[in-house]
Structure 1
């Protein structure tokens, strides 16, 4: 692992701006605080949304799976889910509230496997298999490990305390193998959800001119992005999964990862 980290110092990626498409959707597994000290219950919101532009919200069906990995153990969180209505700037849609219970110190890797979503405008299904992270007491235990998902982004920087102004590197995997030439869309959570109101807070930024921000994975599946601003950043590797069809239509099985960046105080 640490030999691999050393190689990342020279890893490079290609960046471009692409036109907005259905893939500007991002699956969220959101809790406001990702670095905590006390044990207890954390509220989590599962929303399928356009958080950069505080845009359209998509209806979620109940996820196929919702769980956390802690010290290598799987903790099923599906029983904590309850349906809610999330009201975005443009519309309302079905979302879910859940709960993550923190006991021992270390990393908690939340995983959401949603039902595929039918995007009528492009006549395709989208399934965004999503990871996000919470840490208790600053003890690293799980963040640097792949979680054995059909597709996922393996972070090469600790995802709960990225320094704004530094870089983040991830590696896109499909069935555990690196995938080259994958488009990775990059999203800033400009409007964070208000946990009590089930609505977005005031946005702190606007979407970039020119459309979605995109990186391309290199020959070994790596991409690197300079994090310009504190907050939550999402990465979606489009079509990186092995499943390409659902109910007789094209399926984009995407790997999504959320990280939290902070300004240096």
Structure 2
């Protein structure tokens, strides 16, 4: 099992980083941390919010507010409900974001319970890094105070198991999870963390864009969220089997295990 250390450590990307560094003398440095977004209109459904929620899917750079990358139609999109799994692909509508294809869906919550929405996007070719990217992403919505079932596994090839209930979180709360591949913990997995910027924050330097931490020997990690809003946690793991790129050449696969959680300010 190999952990993919994204753009910082892989030797095959060293020359690319040098080129980016030189280019930054003339042009603003492009964002490099890709995150698959799966953002519901609310993480808690109650009598005030109504039962209809919207889900926005985009492949982008959250902290830098873009640019977005084009999304092909997802391979899978669904929800794990208290009554079982539902395929939601038919509810997807293509929308435009930064001139690229993204998706939107709506879902009518049928009753109390925790609803785990998930997406397997179509593989994305990233020529700058020489990899195909597949970010298996999920987000949990609690309905009508059920507060049960939020830690159920979806069964994705790579997945983050939340140890902290992933809703009802205050700003500053510690979010803890376990990175799993094939159901087993991934020791020392690297986890990238980004805040979905609403335009109110300008990172003072590149290291502030993407927070980076490593899981322990049991695949467990923790992060204290310093600001209200949506936070994405992405564990990047190299896939076992290469995948053909658009030219038919076999290339490595970056499998991302992503989960989105929301923190709110005390008022």
1:147-191 C-alpha deviation (Å, 9 max, x unpaired): 211110011111112221121101000000000121100010013
| 1:208–1:175 CA distance, 2 compared to 1 (3 A) | farther
1:104-155 C-alpha deviation (Å, 9 max, x unpaired): 1111100000111001111211100000121111211221222211110011
Q: Distance in 1 between matches of 2:227 and 2:137?
A: 22
Q: Do residues 161 (structure 1) and 168 (structure 2) align?
A: yes
Tell me the equivalent position of 1:6: none
Q: Do residues 146 (structure 1) and 153 (structure 2) align?
A: yes
Q: Do residues 73 (structure 1) and 75 (structure 2) align?
A: no
Tell me the equivalent position of 2:192: 185
| 1:216–1:23 CA distance, 2 compared to 1 (3 A) | farther
Q: Do residues 263 (structure 1) and 259 (structure 2) align?
A: no
Q: Do residues 233 (structure 1) and 231 (structure 2) align?
A: yes
Give the CA deviation at 1:79. 0.5
Give the CA deviation at 1:208. 5.8
Q: Do residues 36 (structure 1) and 32 (structure 2) align?
A: no
Computing the radius of gyration over CA atoms, which structure comes out larger, 1 or 2?
2
Tell me the equivalent position of 1:172: 179
Q: Distance in 2 between matches of 1:263 and 1:76?
A: 34
Q: Do residues 218 (structure 1) and 216 (structure 2) align?
A: yes
Give the count of matched residue pairs.
232
Tell me the equivalent position of 2:120: 113
Q: Could you tell me the TM-score, scaled by structure 2's length?
A: 0.82
Tell me the equivalent position of 1:26: 35
For the Cα contact (< 8 Å) 1:22–1:122, is it kept in 2? no
| 1:120–1:159 CA distance, 2 compared to 1 (3 A) | same
SS at match of 2:65: coil
| 1:164–1:223 CA distance, 2 compared to 1 (3 A) | same
Q: Where do 5+ consecutive residues of structure 2 fail to align?
A: 1-7, 9-16, 18-28, 245-249
Tell me the equivalent position of 1:206: 202
SS at match of 2:90: helix
| 1:24–1:34 CA distance, 2 compared to 1 (3 A) | same
For the Cα contact (< 8 Å) 1:160–1:259, is it kept in 2? yes
SS at match of 2:64: coil
Q: Could you tell me the TM-score, scaled by structure 1's length?
A: 0.82
Give the CA deviation at 1:209. 2.5
Q: Where do 5+ consecutive residues of structure 1 fail to align?
A: 1-17, 192-202
The list of structure 1 runs, each at least 4 consecutive aligned residues, that deviate by more than 3 angstroms after superposition, is: 18-23
- Using CA pairs under 8 Å that are at least 6 residues apart, name the structure with larger relative contact order, 1 or 2: 1
SS at match of 1:153: strand
1:231-250 C-alpha deviation (Å, 9 max, x unpaired): 1100000116x444211111
